[in-house]
Chains A and B, each alone.
Chain A
Amino acid sequence: GENVEQHPSTLSVQEGDSAVIKCTYSDSASNYFPWYKQELGKRPQLIIDIRSNVGEKKDQRIAVTLNKTAKHFSLHITETQPEDSAVYFCAASMVPNKFYFGSGTKLNVKP
């Protein structure tokens, strides 16, 4: 089956700096890549996603890039704020949609 690896496991940045989280996947059939934010004690919330026919997608301070050849995708958060502090999960999926999750990155934004 699919194997998704996520790095780093923890990331600490100063408020206003950028944060980058990277994921790799193993199955070239994967074609949909969502990112989730999970605050302590809460459910994972979808923050951005990208399909395999697109190389980059941006939504305000958040962007995701996908390199299908290298089988990796990344989450970029610019101008980080303390409320961005959370655990971020990447996932990979293919039809029929079964989601394989990375192990998570704990982001700490220091004020």
Chain B
Amino acid sequence: EAGVAQSPRYKIIEKRQSVAFWCNPISGHATLYWYQQILGQGPKLLIQFQNNGVVDDSQLPKDRFSAERLKGVDSTLKIQPAKLEDSAVYLCASSLDQYREGSREYFGPGTRLTVL
């Protein structure tokens, strides 16, 4: 079974620039998550999708972050404009179905973003 794919793996940009990350979840997984992981901390949920609908985006800084999952499969996360504090690893994860109790979550390799 193929895992969660993400690209790019690394990105270096200057503050105020824009950046986009891409995620392809495990085939058949309805639920997709984007997390921000700052060095030394646990993953923090940014947004959660069920198919192509947003379930939770309460911790997404909507003035600069946006995400979409138009066809219910791949997803993109965008930051515009980036700030220094956005430097982190952005992890995408997927699970079979958020409504199935104990549905396991699988992580992608992450995108390490450095904002200079």
Give Cα A31 to B102, complex, Å. Answer: 8
- Report which B residues bind A (CB closer than 8 A): 31, 33, 40-45, 48, 50, 55-56, 91, 95, 98-110
Residue of A nearest to B40 (CB): A104
Q: Is the interface of A mostly helix, strand, loop or mixed?
A: strand
Give Cα A97 to B49, complex, Å. Answer: 11
**B104 proximity list for chain A (CB < 8 A):** 34, 46, 49
CB pair A43–B107 under 8 Å, yes or no, is yes
Q: Is A73 an interface residue, CB under 8 A from the partner?
A: no
- Report which A residues bind B (CB closer than 8 A): 6, 31-32, 34, 36, 42-46, 49, 51, 89, 93, 95-104
Name 9 A/B residue pairs within 8 A (Cβ), A-sorted.
A43-B91, A44-B43, A46-B104, A49-B102, A95-B100, A97-B98, A98-B45, A103-B42, A104-B42
Residue of A nearest to B9 (CB): A41
Given known A43-B91, A43-B109, A89-B42, contact A96–B102 (CB-CB < 8 A) = no
Give Cα A85 to B65, complex, Å. Answer: 34
CB distance from A97 to the nearest CB of B (A): 4
CB pair A102–B105 under 8 Å, yes or no, is no
Residue of A nearest to B105 (CB): A99
Cβ contact of A98, chosen from B91, B98, B100, B101, cutoff 8 A: B98
Given known A43-B110, A46-B104, A49-B104, contact A96–B40 (CB-CB < 8 A) = no
Give Cα A104 to B40, complex, Å. Answer: 8
**A34 proximity list for chain B (CB < 8 A):** 104-105
Cβ contact of A101, chosen from B31, B42, B110, cutoff 8 A: B42
CB pair B110–A51 under 8 Å, yes or no, is no
CB pair B43–A89 under 8 Å, yes or no, is yes
Give Cα A102 to B43, complex, Å. Answer: 8
CB pair A51–B43 under 8 Å, yes or no, is no
Q: Across the A-B interface, give the 6 residue pairs with the lowest CB-CB distance, nearest first.
A: A101-B42, A96-B98, A97-B98, A43-B107, A32-B102, A44-B107
Given known A44-B43, A44-B91, contact A99–B101 (CB-CB < 8 A) = no
CB distance from A107 to the nearest CB of B (A): 14
